[in-house]
Structure 1
Amino acid sequence: MSIKFRATRLGMPLSHNYGKWYAKMVPIGNITSEQLAEEVSHLSTVTRSDMLAVLWALAAVIRRHLLNSEIVHVDGLGSFRIGFRSRAKDRPEEVSADDIYGLRVVMTPDRKFQQTGVTERNGRTGYFTGELVRGAELSSVNAPTIKQTYR
């Protein structure tokens, strides 16, 4: 099991990296709520239909809290909040709801600090790893034998 990628050329002429190559994730399929419910039901005592009910209810509850301008945190998954774009105005009293556009949900995944050492002043050194990608392996679709593990 690994995350697939391929080399893709940047085609945005105004970018300073125009014409350069970068890695892009290659999806190999989609997973539905029914498939998630089926898998979770095999890992727990919850039936598939109970799991579907929980997923639908969870989505409805998260939506309600987001629409109430709250941040929703799901342990092991991350935090959800509303984000949007807004047209700039010269004075604060000119800003109104009519200036807001591009509403979206912003998801910030949970992260865990991986300590690699200690500094001379007893500070920690290390890096943060997203819990959902910890231990992921990466492989090129052009050269599937080359793999790298992401801590």
Structure 2
Amino acid sequence: MSIKFRATRIGILSSPNLGKWYAKMVPIGTITSEQLAEEVSHMSTVTRADMLAVLWSLAEVIRRHLLNSEIVHVDGLGSFRVGFRSRAKDRAEDVSADDIYGLRVVMTPERKFQQTGVTERNGRTGYFTGELIRGAELSSVNAPTIKQTYR
């Protein structure tokens, strides 16, 4: 398993990087709730139908809490919250719900700190790793020999 990428040229005329290249993830498919339920059912004692019911119920419960202005944290997955854009006003009392637009769900993946050492002042050194992509390998669809593994 590896995450596929390809070199893609930047074509945005206003970009200072116009004409340069960057790596872009290449999806190879989409996994449905039914497929997830099937896989989980083979890894546990839960049936596919039970798993589908749990996934549907989980989505409904998360939605209810988001609509109640709460952050929802799912261990091993991350946190969900509502985000939006708002028009700026000169005075606080002029800000209203009419100024809010672009509502969206913001998902922050769960991360764990991987300590690599200690500083002279007993601070930690290291890096954060996203739990959902821990152990990921990357491979180019243009040149399959280019690989990088993240811990």
Question: Shorter-normalised TM-score: what interval?
Answer: over 0.9
Amino acid at match of 2:53: A
Which residue of 2 is the match for residue 55 of structure 1? 55
Q: CA deviation at 1:14?
A: 1.3
Q: CA deviation at 1:121?
A: 1.4
Q: CA deviation at 1:145?
A: 2.3
Which residue of 2 is the match for residue 43 of structure 1? 43
Give the count of matched residue pairs. 151
Which residue of 2 is the match for residue 114 of structure 1? 114
Let me know the Cα RMSD of the aligned residues.
0.7
Alignment TM-score, normalising by the size of structure 1: 0.98
CA-to-partner distance for each residue in 1:12-41, whole Å, 9 max, x for gaps? Answer: 111211211100000000000000000000
Which residue of 2 is the match for residue 34 of structure 1? 34
Q: CA deviation at 1:150?
A: 1.0
Counterparts of 1:49 and 1:108 in 2: how far apart (Å)? 29
Runs of 4+ in structure 1 deviating by more than 4 angstroms, as ranges, are none
Q: CA deviation at 1:148?
A: 0.8
Residues 70-149 of structure 1: matches in 2 within 5 Å?
70-149=70-149
Q: Which runs of 5+ in 2 are unaligned?
A: none
| Secondary structure, aligned partner of 1:81 | strand
Counterparts of 1:13 and 1:125 in 2: how far apart (Å)? 40
Which residue of 2 is the match for residue 8 of structure 1? 8
